[in-house]
Structure 1
Amino acid sequence: MTTSRRSTTKATNASTQVGNRLTSRDVELLRLVAEHRMLTSTQLATALIPNDRTCRLRIQVLRDLGLVETFRPPRVAGSAPLHCVATGKALRLLAEAGHAERVPAVRGTARPGSAAASVALRADLSHLAGANEVFCRLRAAARASGGRAALEEWRSEWSASRAFGSRIRPDGFARWRDGTDWCEFFLEYDTGTEALHRLAAKLRGYADLAAATAVSVPVLFWLPGPEREHNLHRELSADRSGVPVATAYGDPCVGAPHRAVWQPVWRVGVERLTLAGLGTASAAHLGVPQRRHTI
């Protein structure tokens, strides 16, 4: 009995010490890193803590507490930003704090360093970073808008699949609002390595989801360049899925996905639309009221 009381007291003290050093912004940082598998220090500064030095200091605090692990993938020139990954300890604390629906479950007992290693060895690490960059840019745009705009929802690949079922596996789902205009969308982040017909085939799952939920929202393809965009539009010219599709291209690290960069497949040749404007335009294209998913 004495051993049990000491063990409980030790665990309580450890949790209290962690809690005493965490700010509300730290918890939000941890939740974002946990849900989205990995975010770089640059992305966290873009999305959450505008001051780079402050951001790195908070990451160091979380690392000292055993809540994040970091690594830097090799680069041909220069050094990569810190890549941050939530530890099992962080996932447990977040779940206990009421975030269980938005963070992965902890499986087993992991050795120190294993969380970072599992992400560092992912073959799709650059794809994951690129997709997350698009959403981090939206968070930054919302902060800069002075309250006019907001990224009201942002779900990761696994969280979106959990919410919408196995029909689809997007790289993210979000709801963006700018003033009174808003747009829900699924993101497909393309690095140019997948055959175009495979990109087009993904629309069947989105069409099935729209039929099941009576809600159809745009599927947005972020592409590496204009030639890839032109070729995808040509591939989709015969698409009969009924899913509204729009495309943008470029380096997401310097992109502005909230601006008029989106080219709807159904109206090629006219001015590109803003992200918020895509919501109304897609509904008008389909001839249906604009509706939100309930998740």
Structure 2
Amino acid sequence: MTARHVYSALEDIPGLLARLTPRDRLLIDLLGRHSVLTIDQIHRLYFPSLRATRYRIATLLDYGVLCRFRALVRPGSQAFRYTLGFAGAVLHAAATDQPLPRLPAWNERLTRLAASPKLPHLLGVNDFFCRILATARASGDVDLTEWRSEAETGEITGGIIRPDAAATVNTSEGACAFWLEHDTGTETLARLVTKVDRYCDHLAGSGRAVCFELPSAAREANVHAALGGQRRPLPIATIVSVRAADPTGPVWRRLGKPGLWRLTDLAADR
């Protein structure tokens, strides 16, 4: 973003607010809480077509509400990652009663985000919930009533455990509150078992299932073998990316139980 964009937007905040739609405000809030999305994820969340998404995103970039970055990839190119621009960060801070950011601090945050080795993991976590919300838009029978970021989950667990996310999904068939762990296959199985044990020791009374999204069927088989199929004091379930287009459907394997389960069945001990 150029200095002209930064300061022209901030000099006319009332004028900028008059140009923002309710959908723009939802996107600002979402990026303020979850940091980064791709244009495909934004499309699935809020727009009827990719063309409409690109048009509105270009406008928000021009306003300084959003900014974008990507790494050099050869051959081909990496999809842009979108986050709040400085004007968007100021609006989000004001809306959530936080201290208004200063430009140097915002630039530092943007640099850290763009260079973070955790960025693909964060995009993977966010994509899981974009798929749920896309299902909600298409079916009208799914409602994602809660979606907390890692920072927000750390606050409600006291920092003892930091799930990648926490959420509650409601359908006509029931509801499920759960912790999400987006596993990329880089952690050892021993570490993953220790993580499950910590959930059981500290969050067994939370009323939430523990859901692992795994990168492959082989990883899923190894996880279930490492956990030994033993029942735990809270439901443990896994999903694999190849069957995760709609995470609310009968695509979950429960520890110690046969078959595939719907998301809203995971919280029930049956």
TM-score normalised by length of structure 2: 0.87
The amino acid across from 1:235 in the alignment is A
Do the aligned partners of 2:176 and 2:267 also contact (CA within 8 Å) in 1?
yes
The CA RMSD over aligned residues, in Å, is 2.5
Correspondence 1:110 to 2:123 = no
Q: CA deviation at 1:74?
A: 3.4
2:113 counterpart residue number:
119
The amino acid across from 2:252 in the alignment is W
Q: Using the TM superposition, name which of 239-248 and 192-201 deviates more.
A: 239-248
- Within the candidate set 143, 155, 167, 1:150 is matched to 143
- Within the candidate set 249, 272, 285, 2:260 is matched to 272
Do the aligned partners of 2:36 and 2:81 also contact (CA within 8 Å) in 1?
yes
Correspondence 1:255 to 2:245 = yes
Q: CA deviation at 1:13?
A: 5.8
- Within the candidate set 160, 180, 185, 2:178 is matched to 185
The separation in 2 between residues aligned to 1:230 and 1:106, in whole angstroms, is 48
The amino acid across from 1:173 in the alignment is A
1:291 counterpart residue number:
none
Q: CA deviation at 1:92?
A: 2.8
SS in 1 for 2:256: helix
The separation in 2 between residues aligned to 1:111 and 1:95, in whole angstroms, is 13
- Within the candidate set 126, 137, 141, 1:132 is matched to 126
Question: What CA deviation, in whole Å up to 9, does each residue of 1:188-218 have, x standing for no partner?
Answer: 001111111111111243234435xx33311
Question: What CA deviation, in whole Å up to 9, does each residue of 1:254-287 have, x standing for no partner?
Answer: 72211111000121xx22001112122xxx25xx
The amino acid across from 1:260 in the alignment is P
1:206 counterpart residue number:
199
Question: What CA deviation, in whole Å up to 9, does each residue of 1:126-178 have, x standing for no partner?
Answer: 111111110000001011112x2111111111121123320111111110111
Q: CA deviation at 1:115?
A: 4.6
Q: CA distance change for structure 1 residues 21 and 198 in 2, over 3 Å: closer, same or farther?
A: same
Q: Which runs of 5+ in 2 are unaligned?
A: 1-7
How many residues align? The count is: 263
Question: What CA deviation, in whole Å up to 9, does each residue of 1:201-236 have, x standing for no partner?
Answer: 11243234435xx33311111111011001111111
Q: Which runs of 5+ in 1 are unaligned?
A: 1-9, 286-295
Instruction: State the 4+ residue runs in structure 1 displaced beyond 4 angstroms.
Output: 10-13, 104-108, 111-115, 238-241
1:1-295 to 2 correspondences below 5 Å: 14-97=12-95, 99-100=96-97, 108-110=102-104, 114-146=108-140, 148-210=141-203, 214-237=205-228, 242-250=233-241, 255-267=245-257, 270-280=258-268, 284=269
The separation in 2 between residues aligned to 1:112 and 1:71, in whole angstroms, is 14
The separation in 1 between residues aligned to 2:43 and 2:241, in whole angstroms, is 21
Do the aligned partners of 1:69 and 1:115 also contact (CA within 8 Å) in 2?
no
